[in-house]
Amino acid sequence: MNKFTLFLFVAVILFLSVQAAFGCSCIVDPNKPEVDYGQWAKDFKGIAFSGRVAKIEPFGEYEVKVTFKVDKFWRGADTTQAIIYTAKDSGLCGVTYDEGKEYIVITEATGDRYVTYLCPDVEYVTHRAEYLKALGQGFTPADRPAQKAVKFQEFGNINCETELAYLDALATQIQNDPNSMAYVIIYGGRKGKRNEAKARLARMMHYWVVTRRMDGERFKRIDGGYRETLAGEIWLATPDDAAPKPTPTVDAKKVKLRGTEKVRGYNCGSEMGL
């Protein structure tokens, strides 16, 4: 065997080994006790719904984010939209979805996200009738009473330590309810700096998305115009709730800006850059 043949043989073995390492095997334990569907429903923390795949997007290196248009829900997804995450292929234990197709989805709750895995999905599909019956009667999003966004926090030109505490509190709230989202309204001050509101919004988004590693689509930014001094509002909502309307108190024509505000991190000193 010459050196090239030996090298090729070793390369093939290594490739197959790597493929095997990332394989996903759903082995059924013959000694596994029967599922107590009633108890499962009591302990269930995910969402269960039927809907059509509206969009599939890459999320990180190994996952995809799947957005559904919901037509019926059994648990949790009581809005017209649901977002779930799964590994990008079945070899990584992901569930395969196709845009435009309809699915009945039962997820797991992990942190601030709803996820699906191949092996539990096989179980849910095999015994779908039993699981859905345990969850109770299904409803349509239209059955959900109309709701409005709720003000979570209102603040003035506070220091960055206090602001950081507000952001952490909101992040925890959203993590505890993966179907929620937030609107953030920032008002520039009458005699503030240029880009003051934009810089504050950028700093907040950077913290949630980069530091806390949360999904940026769950935070919607709104330029509120101007008030006497820099101010902000944070609102909790669901994807179906109407966005809150800003309430500026100063006419933009009467604003006298000075200098340009830079985006600074939550150590209250380092520049982040717009």
Residue 226 domain-assigned (yes or no): yes
Residue 10: which pLDDT band, with cuts at 50, 70 and 90? very low
The tally of domains found in the chain comes to 2
Question: Hey, how many other C-beta atoms are within 10 angstroms of the C-beta on 48?
Answer: 26
Q: What's residue 142's pLDDT? A: 72
Phi, psi of 264 (to 5 degrees): -120, 150
Structure tokens belonging to residue 273: 């850059």
- For residue 242, give its domain range: 150-254
pLDDT digits (tens, 9 = 90+) for 145-180: 666 788 999 988 788 788 888 898 898 888 777 778
Q: What's residue 263's pLDDT? A: 55
CA dihedral of 126, 127, 129, 132, whole degrees rounded to 10: -110
Alpha helix stretches (DSSP H) within 67-145: 118-126, 128-135
Nearest by Cα to 218 from 170, 154, 267: 170
Residue 16 domain-assigned (yes or no): no
Section 130-147 average pLDDT: 80
User: Which CATH number does the domain housing residue 237 bear?
Assistant: 3.30.1330.60
- Percentage of the chain surpassing pLDDT 70? 84
User: Which CATH number does the domain housing residue 93 bear?
Assistant: 2.40.50.120
Average pLDDT score over the chain: 81
Q: Which residues contact 49 (CB under 8 A, 6 or more apart)?
A: 68, 70, 72, 73, 74, 75, 76, 77, 82, 104, 105
Q: Are residues 241 and 161 in the same domain?
A: yes
Three-state DSSP class for 225? strand
Residue 13 domain-assigned (yes or no): no
Q: What's residue 146's pLDDT? A: 61
Boundary of a domain, candidates 103, 126, 143: 143
